[in-house]
Structure 1
Amino acid sequence: MSGIPEAVVREIGRTEGGSEALGLLVRDQHTRRLVLLRALLDAAEAAPAALCPPAALDRLRQDWALLEAAERTDRAAVRTVLLYPLAGPWAQRCLRGLTGAAPDPELPADLDHFSALAAAAAIRAGLPFTARLTAHDGLLALPTLGALRTEPGPPSPVDAELADGRVTLRPCDGAGGGAGAAPPVTVRLTDDGTRSGDPRWLPVLTLPAVRPGAAPVPLDDTDPYRTAGTRLERFGLSAVASLDDTHRESWARSWAQVEPLLRIGGPHRSEETAALLHCLVPLSPPPGSAPSGDGPAQCSGTRREAFGAVLTSRPATPALFASTLVHELQHTKLAALAALAPLHHEDAAPRHFAPWRSDPRPFDGLLQGAFSHIALADFWQRYALGADRLAARDQAWAEHARCREQVGAVLPVLAASGALTREGRILVNEMITVYHRLSEDPPPPGHLARAASYVRTARMIWRQRNGT
């Protein structure tokens, strides 16, 4: 086997994972992020002037120097910014732009964001500094902290200063001077985020930690890279949401009820959420929702380049919120495992039936979907066995039966693959073990019948639509 202990692969195959297994995945992903950031700087140094002009390169060097100084002051605070999930998509965009064959029109704005990231790191570290930043599209985002709304129009400079525990942001006029510019904005740092009496400051809402010792979870509706390059509609996701106070309160109320429900689904669900969830990105309600977003329709997803982020519209109930986290964090977990050790050598051709999708799926997508759905089947079964209210038990059994039946439809395809690596074979075998264990506490017969009918109908529709 690779350097991954077999016990770790087996734990993850059961959709579980203790502190050792999860810690291994997190450390590897964080190391990859730091290497990516170093590669970005090296690429800028090597890039031709047409891609990275001397002024931009000099600014990057200054930003890097500020990061190093901030890290000497408070390493943990700086790592909070550098390892922030949404810094991953930004760093990859920069690296692609710096190593491309032709200038990327978005690269100047991407490089400007490095200054904002360095400033955010210095702010979190409490290192006094002054820097000139650049707002784009009427917004200057400081990762993990919030964003300053500026006048719409072309890129505009903003002078940032940290002194006496307060951040002062001074929008400049078009020439970079102060004359005719908007008044400054003062932002205070607090234990649970940032505060300002100026409505131009848009703070990132920080949700309480899932469990003691874990980090709070940002609900980030300001970072410009939260969905950049995702082509949301292609994956059935709605647009990103900007939250007002009412929406923020709704998210906070629902979040407050999630952790007890995760524990009903097994103590490992709270542990994996605390270890793997580092950011929530709110999406708008999908079609079919009520205007308030309280309808049953929901969408969610993850991004491999944004390890630790879950994108989701607000689930209608705390139980659905908990199940969304269970579902999406399995994708996070499996993608991180696959980065450490390949799980298969199948090609990427979309040819497989998956009861949760209407389009043909590649083998990797089938594996990812089965892995997340068997975790959902386990969660909903535990929830049904532990719920007090009859209506809650009934809904949980229905969800469990559907998910288990869906997984049963695709496990034979996964198990029959001759392209599984040793790690992949161990993973699939553990999934099969979980699948059979779930039958020890079956749902009421009516749920089983409806779930089987659902999968049969999905297969029939899939064959008609895809001609096979």
Structure 2
Amino acid sequence: MLPPVPDRALLELGRTEGGPDTLALLVRDQDTRRLLMLRAVLDAVEGADPAVCSAGVRRRVREDWGLLEEADRAGDTAGAGTSLSPVRDRLLSPLLGPWAQRCLRGLDAAPEARTDRYVREQAREHAREQAREQAREPAHEPAHERARDLARDLAHLSALAAVAAARAGIPFAVRLTARDGVLTLPSLGALHTTDPGDTEVEARFGHGRLTLRQPGAMDTTVHLESGFGAWSSAPAWSPAYALPGLLPGSAPVPLDDLDPYRTAPVGPHDHGLSGPATLDDTERKRWLQAWSGTAAALRAGGDYRVTEATALLRCLVPLAAPPGADGHGSGSCSGTRREAFGALLSSTPPTAATFAATLVHELQHTKLSALSHMLTLHHAGPQRRYFAPWRPDPRPYDGLLQGAYSHLALADFFQRCALVVEHRAHREFAWARHARYREQVGAVLPTLVGSPELTPWGRQFVDQMVAVYERMAEYPAPRGHDARARAYVRAARALWTQRNASAIPPLKEAE
């Protein structure tokens, strides 16, 4: 039986690279998993306890599913000349993942549900982890509250189905549910209702126009744009916004500050990650200014950095500036979510160069998470016990691997930038970053390499990381940068040991 990932692809990814075929392999696998997850939601609805999922909610989900199927059948015509039908484009949206995970947690999908075993187990395991780490909900939520929250979450499927049908050009008349005074229609925009609570909105579509009717207000007429977005003269309508494609001819990248599932509550281990932001025109211009130079900044660190960004990035989620941010790059934050493949969360980038580095960092997490779904790289447990120079807290082995992988890519990126940039101050900055990131990786590579928990695939992967680390020594940073980087890591280790070592039993393979 052939492994799910060819050796060539595994070696490319181990080097923090990835050609078009390798990246396409990751994308196809994640797309399939997302569709299976959606099917898991439907199956779980059918098998759910009536006390949690009422007959009325179940009937509405079936109607939504039927509209999605109709849109999918019409997609071959409506989506002619594009790679995806309108319905598939919606269902493969990164933020569908967090929504599906939340629904499965509310439904508590039974093991006998008729869907992919991996998806069921992964959904339940991830839900338990999130509940423990982020304390999303009480451990024993009353049944009536659970049913209410689930009905609100499943009502979002109606909005997804309506958008897919509208994109496919299918006339319809449905009732949608605004949540806390906002009806979000992914990729189109959001309607702010006169009622600040949950209220029904009648939606009718025909001839390219969507009419939204709510109690006590004038109808809102929304006109669909080609490909993405929709406009309306009504002040209650907020249009969805997208940045231009990273390269000429590439698809626009949504800058989504509307989707209700775009972020998760901040948990005790989400260091420095702020909450969601709603952008005004000034902030959108700042995003656009940084974005317009990002491709060139990425290319300075290697053409494959542009390749991976165009292949993997499907959505940007703006975050609020964290406490202490100065607007010039200090104190910015970013992150990814395992269940939202293709989405990157970030505060407003101050410059294109800063955002290019953010993309390099975060897309490595995206790649490694996707690969880890396809291959078992290690069997290490979740115990938080390892030193990482970039974190004040002990890390589990998997977290250490993730961090070392992204920092190795940054060390490579900044070394390549330092070798080609002409401006002296920019060159010195790049060398300083390269030296620090490489020293940080070097401090943890012995722990990663020495672990007996690595599988043969994991061993191949980590060996490639070592090869990249050693290759960078061919073009060393100026001596002063190396000395400062070593001093930084020594100080980080001493402080970490003072804070954490006494509470962590030593392991033979640990540093």
Q: TM-score range by the shorter chain?
A: over 0.9
Matches within 5 A, 1:77-96: 77-96=86-105
Conserved? CA contact 2:266–2:274, under 8 Å: no
Q: Deviations over 1:405-432 (max 9, x none)?
A: 1000000000001111111111100000
Change (3 A) 1:298 1:337: same
Contact 2:172 2:206 in 1 (8 A): yes
8 Å CA contact retained: 2:286, 2:350:
no
- Detail structure 1 runs of 4+ shifted over 4 Å in the superposition: none
Are 2:384 and 1:341 aligned?
A: no
Equivalent position to 1:435, from 439, 445, 469: 469
Partners of 1:124 and 1:398 in 2: CA distance: 49
1:217 equivalenced with 2:260 (yes/no): no
Structure 2 counterpart of 1:97, from 82, 90, 106: 106
Aligned to 2:31: 30
Q: Give how far 1:152 is off.
A: 4.5
State whether residues 323 and 376 of structure 1, in contact with CA within 8 Å, keep that contact through their aligned partners in structure 2: yes
Structure 1 Cα separation of the partners of residues 282 and 319 of structure 2: 15
Q: Residue in 2 aligned with 1:176? A: none
CA distance in 1 between counterparts of 2:354 and 2:195 reads 38
In the aligned structure 2, how far is the partner of 1:126 from the partner of 1:450?
61
State percent identity of aligned pairs.
56
Aligned with 1:406 (options 417, 440, 451) = 440
Q: Relative to structure 1, is the Cα distance of residues 152 and 353 closer, same or farther in structure 2, using a 3 angstrom cutoff?
A: farther
Aligned to 1:329: 363
CA contact (8 A) 2:266 2:273 kept: no
Deviation at 1:154, TM superposition (A): 2.7
Residue 252 (structure 2) pairs with residue 193 (structure 1): no
Give yes or no for contact 1:85–1:307 (8 Å, CA) kept in 2.
yes
Deviation (angstroms), 1:3: 2.4
Q: How many residues align?
A: 458
Structure 2: distance between partners of 1:356 and 1:378? 17
Any stretches of 5+ residues in structure 1 without a counterpart? 174-180
In structure 2, C-alpha distance between the alignment counterparts of 1:342 and 1:214, rounded to whole Å: 33
Alpha-carbon distance, 1:402 to partner: 0.8
> Considering only aligned residues, what root-mean-square deviation do their CA atoms show, in Å?
1.6
Distance 2:266 2:211 in 1: 33
The residue type equivalent to 1:128 in the other structure is P
Change (3 A) 1:289 1:230: closer
Contact 1:146–1:222 (8 Å) recurs in 2? yes
Contact (CA 8 Å) 2:14, 2:465: kept in 1 or not? yes
State the Cα distance separating 1:145 from its structure 2 match: 2.1
1:4 and 2:32 matched: no
Amino acid in the other structure paired with 1:430: Q
**Do residues 395 (structure 1) and 419 (structure 2) align?**
no
Letter in 2 for 1:83: L
Out of 149, 170, 176, the residue aligned to residue 213 of structure 2 is 170
In the TM superposition, residue 284 of structure 1 has moved relative to its aligned partner by: 0.6
Work out whether 1:302 is the aligned partner of 2:303: no
User: Take 2:273 and 2:342, find their aligned partners in 1: how far apart are those partners?
Assistant: 18
Aligned letter for 1:121?
A
Of 490, 501, 509, 1:456 maps to: 490
1:72 paired residue number: 73
Q: How much does 1:111 deviate?
A: 0.9
Q: CA deviation at 1:229?
A: 4.6
Alignment of 1:358-377 (within 5 A): 358-377=392-411
In the alignment, the residues of structure 1 paired with residue 354 and residue 268 of structure 2 have an alpha-carbon distance, to the nearest angstrom, of: 21
Listed one character per residue, the Cα deviations across residues 425-465 of structure 1 (whole Å, up to 9, x for unaligned) are 11100000000111111111111111111111110110111
Is the CA contact (8 Å cut-off) linking 1:304 and 1:332 kept in structure 2? yes
Alignment partners' CA distance in 2, 1:12 and 1:144 = 31
Check the 8 A contact 1:84/1:144 in 2, yes or no: no
Aligned twin of 1:129:
172
Provide Cα deviations, 1:322-357, integer angstroms capped at 9, x if missing partner. Answer: 000010000000000000011100011000000000
Distance, in Å, in 2 between the alignment partners of 1:134 and 1:232 is 33
Q: Take 1:438 and 1:402, find their aligned partners in 2: how far apart are those partners?
A: 13
In 2, the alpha carbon distance for the partners of 1:162 and 1:443 equals 61
- 1:59-113 deviation per Cα after TM superposition (whole angstroms, max 9, x unaligned): 1111001000111111521111101111100011111111279632421110110
Distance 1:170 1:212, change over 3 A: same
Structure 2: distance between partners of 1:387 and 1:151: 54
Tell me, yes or no, if the aligned pair for 1:283 and 1:312 is still in contact at 8 Å.
yes
Partner Cα separation in structure 2 for residue 459 and residue 52 of structure 1: 51
* CA 1:426–1:213: 2 relative to 1, 3 Å: farther
Question: How far apart in 2 are the matches of 1:401 and 1:127?
Answer: 57
Q: Which moved more, 1:120-129 or 1:246-255?
A: 120-129
Deviates more, 1:139-148 or 1:21-30: 139-148
Q: 2:389 aligns with which of 352, 355, 363?
A: 355
Residue 108 (str. 1) matches residue 117 (str. 2): no
Q: Hey, what's the Cα distance between the residues in 1 that align with 2:269 and 2:280? A: 24
For residue 294 of structure 1, report the CA deviation from its aligned partner: 3.8
Q: Secondary structure at the match of 1:106?
A: helix
**Pairing partner for 2:322 from 283, 286, 291:** 286
Amino acid at match of 2:251: A
Q: Which stretch shows the higher mean deviation, 294-303 or 26-35?
A: 294-303
Counterpart of 1:18, as a letter, is: G
- C-alpha change, 1:163 and 1:246, in structure 2 (3 Å) is same
Displacement of 1:280: 0.5
Partners of 1:219 and 1:274 lie apart in 2 by: 15
SS of 2:270's partner is helix
For 1:255, the equivalent position in structure 2 comes to 291
Contact 1:232–1:239 (Cα < 8 Å) also in 2: no
Q: Shift in Å at residue 233 of structure 1?
A: 7.5
Contact 1:288 1:295 in 2 (8 A): no
Instruction: Determine if the alignment matches structure 1 residue 138 to structure 2 residue 173.
Output: no
2:233 is paired with a residue whose SS is coil
Deviation of 1:235 after TM superposition, in Å, equals 3.3
Contact kept, 8 Å, 1:296 with 1:316, in 2: the verdict is: no
Alpha-carbon distance in 2 for matches of 1:249, 1:23: 32
Instruction: Determine helix, strand or coil for the equivalent of 2:40.
Output: helix
Residue in 2 that maps onto 1:182: 217
> Residues 350 and 360 of structure 1 are in contact (CA less than 8 Å); yes or no, is this contact kept in structure 2?
yes
Equivalence for 2:56: 55
Taking the aligned partners of 2:249 and 2:459, their CA distance within structure 1 comes to 35
Letter in 1 for 2:310: A
Cα drift, residue 32 of structure 1: 0.5
